[in-house]
Amino acid sequence: MPTEPPIVLITPEAQATLEAEVKRTSIGGGLAGGLLFGCPLDEHHRLVVSSVRLRSEVGFGQKSFCLDQSRTSQQLEQARKLAPGASYCGVWYLHRTPNQELTDKEWVQTQSVLEDLDFRFEDLVCLVLCFYSGELKSYASSFNRYHSARGQFPAPTQLQLTTDSLPTPTQASPAHPSAPRPAPTDWYKAPEVIERLKLEHERLAQKYHVEATLAPNGQQLIFRLMPKSEYGKLAFYLAFGPGFPDKAPAAFLLAGGKQHPLFSPGISNWSAGQWLVGVADDLIEWLAWSLEQYVATAEEALDQSDYQEAADLLTVVLSIDPRTPRAARLLARAQAPLG
């Protein structure tokens, strides 16, 4: 049975690069598009960190196309600097029409990448960028072996920037009101978990102020972290539940009561042999190159009179880089109505 397609998360930088490529690309007789680089974060999410435009000279658009002949080793190496677990993860195509469905040539090309014998992908991200009448729209889908074997189109899915906010647990949709599955109770009281949490707290406390709380549902422990030596008022959160340390923690910022999820290679490649302090350090690095998008999100919040959310986001931005353009001025605007 086919399963729900994974959500596609794309970094602001990767999205901006694709948009710039679209606007300078002319469409000739062949396919216009290329490859995506990224990695799976978990069963339900795929992360895209970069892309490359391919020319017909490397066989793009032909069934005989091979990834190892695509002359993209440099771009792959660069992607792995952004996310150590990154590899080829999908394809993108440019359409000069509002039609987001793949053409026959695009479908065959996507299938040939999926079935590349050197990689043996389970699924691929497929992005279609429709640039029509001066307007650009992006569509994401997931193409897997089930679709390939049956000649089906990729399954449409959500496309989100990594800086988009997720609803807090109290905002969850009641679309499926079935009874929740019982979760292990007091999982954090198991002796081996107590010992692990003690060591994690000790390591974190060397570099961060740590506040530990138990979520209202009693199933998640949350560490609020503030760096000791740098980054001013920066605060972010690590949350973990039953299955830790085998199961990866989640990370987020809290702005105006909304959770803004954070992603990093340390989380996507988590194993029980890692430590939370390494994840925390990694998250700050990733935050540093998403600042422009947080400024844009704060501006949107200001336009909607969400002053606290805007102020919280801009405080994060200025804590990491006080020279970020427009951030200080926007923060003053956000704080004025708050008194």
Would the pLDDT of 178 be above 70? Answer: no
Q: What contacts 245, CB < 8 A, 6 or more positions away?
A: 193, 196, 272
Kindly state whether residues 221 and 296 are assigned to the same domain. no
Instruction: Establish if 177 belongs to a structural domain.
Output: no
Least confident of 26-30, 140-144, 266-270, 335-339: 26-30
The beta strand positions in the chain, using DSSP E, are 7-10, 33-42, 45-53, 87-95, 123-132, 135-144, 155-157, 159-161, 208-214, 221-227, 236-240, 250-255, 258-262
In tens, the pLDDT along 268-292 reads: 778 899 999 999 998 888 888 778 8
Kindly state whether residues 284 and 296 are assigned to the same domain. no
Kindly state whether residues 151 and 89 are assigned to the same domain. yes
- Give strand pairing partners of 262: 251
Average pLDDT, the chain: 85
In tens, the pLDDT along 78-103 reads: 898 888 789 999 999 999 888 889 98
pLDDT-based confidence at residue 176 (cuts at 50, 70, 90): very low
CATH classification at residue 247: 3.10.110
Would the pLDDT of 66 be above 50? Answer: yes
Q: Which of 242, 206, 236 lies closest to 223, judged by CA?
A: 236
| The 3-state secondary structure of 118-164, one letter per residue | CCCCCEEEEEEEEEECCEEEEEEEEEEHHHHHHCCCCEEECEEECCC
Kindly state whether residues 223 and 237 are assigned to the same domain. yes
Kindly state whether residues 36 and 103 are assigned to the same domain. yes
Would the pLDDT of 26 be above 70? Answer: no
d(Cα 154, Cα 142) in Å, to the nearest integer? 5
CATH classification at residue 63: 3.40.140.10
Instruction: Establish if 29 belongs to a structural domain.
Output: yes
The type of residue at 262 is: L
d(Cα 18, Cα 8) in Å, to the nearest integer? 15
Would the pLDDT of 1 be above 50? Answer: no
> Cα–Cα–Cα angle for 161, 212, 220, nearest 5°?
60
Kindly state whether residues 62 and 139 are assigned to the same domain. yes
276 CA to centre of own chain: 19
Q: Residue 260: give the domain boundaries.
A: 187-288
Please compute the mean of the pLDDT values over residues 137-144 and round it to a whole number. Answer: 94
Report the pLDDT value the prediction gives residue 179, as an integer from 0 to 100.
43
Would the pLDDT of 128 be above 90? Answer: yes
Kindly state whether residues 99 and 244 are assigned to the same domain. no
Instruction: Establish if 18 belongs to a structural domain.
Output: yes
Sheet of 258-262: strand order equals 208-214, 221-227, 236-240, 250-255, 258-262
In tens, the pLDDT along 216-232 reads: 777 889 999 999 988 87
Report the pLDDT value the prediction gives residue 12, as an integer from 0 to 100.
87
Would the pLDDT of 11 be above 80? Answer: yes
Kindly state whether residues 227 and 281 are assigned to the same domain. yes
Instruction: Establish if 1 belongs to a structural domain.
Output: no
Number of separate domains in the chain = 3
Kindly state whether residues 140 and 278 are assigned to the same domain. no
Query: Greatest CA span in the chain, whole angstroms?
Result: 65
